[in-house]
Amino acid sequence: MVQMPLGGLREVFGVLLLVVCQGCIQSAAPGEVQNLKALESDGVSWATGFGFKDAGRVLWVTDGEGSDTVHWVKEGRGQWPTGEGYILPASPLRLATWSTTHVPFVLALGVDQQWVASGYLDRVRPLADTVQGSCLNLGGDAGISEETLLASQADVLTSYPFGDPMEGVESRTGVPVLAMAEYVEAHPLGRAEYVKLFGWLLDQSGRADSVFQAIEGRYLKQVQLALEGSEKTGRPSVFTGSFSGGQWTAPTERGLVARMIQDAGGHYVFDAQTAADYGLRQVGNNYEVEPEQCALIAEGCEAWGRVVYAPSGWSMADVQAEAPWCNFSGKTVFHCNTAEVDYFGTAILEPDRMLKDLLSVLHPDLAKPSASPYFQRTGTTE
Can you say how many angstroms the Cα of residue 340 is from the centroid of all Cα atoms in its chain?
18
245 and 144 part of one domain: no
108 and 58 part of one domain: yes
- 216 occurs within a structural domain: no
287 and 360 part of one domain: yes
Lowest-pLDDT choice from 117-131, 138-152, 164-178: 117-131
174 and 33 part of one domain: yes
* 124 dihedral zone (left: phi>0; alpha: psi -120 to 50; beta): beta
134 and 263 part of one domain: no
177 and 89 part of one domain: yes
Q: What is the pLDDT of residue 40?
A: 58
Lowest-pLDDT choice from 37-41, 90-94, 250-254: 37-41
- 3 occurs within a structural domain: no
CA distance 265 to 267: 7
Q: What is the pLDDT of residue 203?
A: 95
Confidence of residue 126 (pLDDT cuts 50, 70, 90): low
Using one digit for the tens of pLDDT, what is the confidence trace for 335-352? 999 999 999 889 999 999
173 and 233 part of one domain: no
Q: E-assigned strands of 192-268?
A: 237-240, 242-244, 247-251, 267-268
Q: What is the pLDDT of residue 315?
A: 94
256 and 347 part of one domain: yes
Per residue in 27-56, is it b (16+ CB within 10 Å) or e — as a string?
eeeeeeebeeeebeeebbebbbbbbbbbee
Confidence of residue 157 (pLDDT cuts 50, 70, 90): very high
- 208 occurs within a structural domain: no
Looking at every residue in the chain, the average pLDDT score rounds to: 85
Higher per-residue pLDDT: 306 or 83: 306
Q: What is the pLDDT of residue 243?
A: 83
Give the domain range for residue 196.
Answer: 24-203
171 and 91 part of one domain: yes
Q: Residue 126 class from Cβ within 10 Å (0-12 exposed, 13-18 middle, 19+ buried)?
A: exposed
- 173 occurs within a structural domain: yes
Confidence of residue 125 (pLDDT cuts 50, 70, 90): low
CA distance 81 to 122: 41
Count of CB atoms situated within 10 Å of the CB of 128: 10
CA end-to-end distance (rounded Å), the chain? 37
- 6 occurs within a structural domain: no
Q: What is the pLDDT of residue 218?
A: 97
Which of 203, 238, 258 represents a domain boundary (last residue)? 203
pTM: 0.85
**What percentage of the chain has pLDDT greater than the value 90?**
66
- 88 occurs within a structural domain: yes
Lowest-pLDDT choice from 41-50, 132-141, 260-269, 328-337: 132-141
Q: What is the pLDDT of residue 127?
A: 56
At 275, which CATH number?
3.40.50.1980
Q: Is the pLDDT of residue 81 over 70?
A: no
Number of domains in the chain: 2
Q: Is the pLDDT of residue 76 over 70?
A: yes
329 and 181 part of one domain: no
Amino acid code (one letter) for 293: Q
Q: Is the pLDDT of residue 128 over 50?
A: no
Q: What is the pLDDT of residue 344?
A: 87
C-alpha distances (whole Å) from 367 to each of 196, 315, 356 are 29, 23, 7
35-49, 124-138, 202-216: range with highest mean pLDDT: 202-216
Q: What is the pLDDT of residue 382?
A: 47
Q: What is the pLDDT of residue 379?
A: 66
- 139 occurs within a structural domain: yes
- 43 occurs within a structural domain: yes
191 and 298 part of one domain: no
Using one digit for the tens of pLDDT, what is the confidence trace for 195-244? 999 999 999 999 999 999 999 999 999 999 999 999 999 999 999 988 88
101 and 199 part of one domain: yes
Confidence of residue 77 (pLDDT cuts 50, 70, 90): confident
Q: What is the pLDDT of residue 121?
A: 87
Using one digit for the tens of pLDDT, what is the confidence trace for 161-198? 887 888 899 999 999 999 999 999 999 999 999 999 99
C-alpha distances (whole Å) from 306 to each of 58, 231, 249 are 41, 26, 12
Confidence of residue 122 (pLDDT cuts 50, 70, 90): confident
